[in-house]
């Protein structure tokens, strides 16, 4: 996973927060994925396809006072979501 790249939720996916974490649904395959991490769902909600993933992660970890180990867990989970085509790498808009 490229932490210098910008990512967003894939156009074919939808995110739904729940008490246990959340659900991610892929419209194109009709697959439903359970995410058992409220932190991961909260982070996914911050993805806007315009800022580098590493920057957003650092800000999120600092704001929630998470440990470096928790950051590593988030990176691994994000990599898995990208592998499932639930995240899409984006080209940031030019200024």
Q: Give 36-84 pLDDT, tens digit per residue.
A: 999 999 999 999 899 999 999 999 999 999 999 999 999 999 999 999 9
Which one, of 15, 54, 56, lies nearest residue 38 by Cα?
15
In the CATH scheme, what architecture does the domain 6-88 have? Alpha-Beta Complex (3.90)
Pair of tokens at residue 16: 């739904």
Rounded CA separation 35/57 (Å): 18
- Of the pLDDT bands very low, low, confident and very high (cuts 50, 70, 90), residue 19 is very high
**Domain chopping of the chain, boundaries:** 6-88
């Amino acid at each position: 996973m490229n932490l210098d790249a910008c990512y967003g939720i894939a156009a074919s996916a939808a995110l739904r927060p729940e008490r246990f974490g959340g659900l991610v649904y892929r419209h194109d395959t009709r697959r439903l994925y359970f995410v058992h991490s409220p932190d991961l769902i909260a982070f996914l909600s911050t993805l806007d396809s315009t800022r580098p993933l590493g920057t957003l992660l650092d800000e999120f970890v600092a704001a929630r006072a998470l440990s470096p180990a928790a950051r590593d867990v988030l990176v691994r989970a994000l990599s898995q979501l990208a592998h499932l085509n639930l995240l899409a790498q984006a080209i940031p808009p030019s200024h």
